[in-house]
Amino acid sequence: MDFGNPDPEVLSGLYPGKAYSPYAQRNFPSQVYWGDTHLHTGLSLDAGLFGNTLGHEEAYRLARGEEIKSSTGLPVKLSRPLDWLVITDHSDMMGVATDIQRGAPNVMAIPKGKEWAEGFAKGVRLQEKLLLT
């Protein structure tokens, strides 16, 4: 949501200083930046097993204000771009979720891995069915 420009009457009371020094007696920030300090992509096990299939490229594109396709296949775009983004994927088991999602041969060779891959595929099909109804 864009709240527009501040009311000049409200601003007039925030800076009682003189024009000599624009920073003296000012109690508000002059440069505010918006971002996200903790974003996991599909490479992190916790995000990936909950259905996030997106990677770094999509995360940065979304943060820059581009429209992307979400993990569910729907278009998504922020109301305004972020000024910065920190991707904080976990190093432990990085990429395991994407291997499970894709049914990678190394995952499918292990009974539990095959079970997880089949369960994920079943969840995707259910999700697609729900989106179509």
Residue that is written with structure tokens 């940065």 in the block: 60
What Cα–Cα distance (Å) separates residue 86 from each residue in 3, 30, 39, 120?
A: 25, 23, 6, 27
118 located within any domain: yes
Residue 125 phi, psi (nearest 5): -65, -40
88 located within any domain: yes
Rounded to an integer, the average pLDDT of 23-34 is: 78
Average pLDDT, the chain: 84
52 located within any domain: yes
17 located within any domain: no
- Count up the domains in the chain and report the number: 1
Residue 52 has pLDDT above 80, yes or no: yes
97 located within any domain: yes
13 located within any domain: no
Q: Which residues pair with 76 in a beta bridge?
A: 68
**Tokens of residue 127, six digits:** 């999700």
CA distance 34 to 71: 24
Between 89 and 15, the more confident residue is 89
CA distance 29 to 95: 40
User: What's the pLDDT score for residue 22?
Assistant: 66
Q: Considering only 46-50, 56-60, 80-84, 107-111, which range has the smallest mean pLDDT?
A: 46-50
- 105-124 pLDDT, tens digit each: 998 999 998 998 888 888 77
Q: What number of residues does the chain have?
A: 133
Which structural domain, as residue segments, surrounds residue 47? 33-132
74 located within any domain: yes
User: What's the pLDDT score for residue 56?
Assistant: 96
Given a contact cutoff of 8 angstroms between Cβ atoms, the answer to whether 79 and 2 are in contact is yes
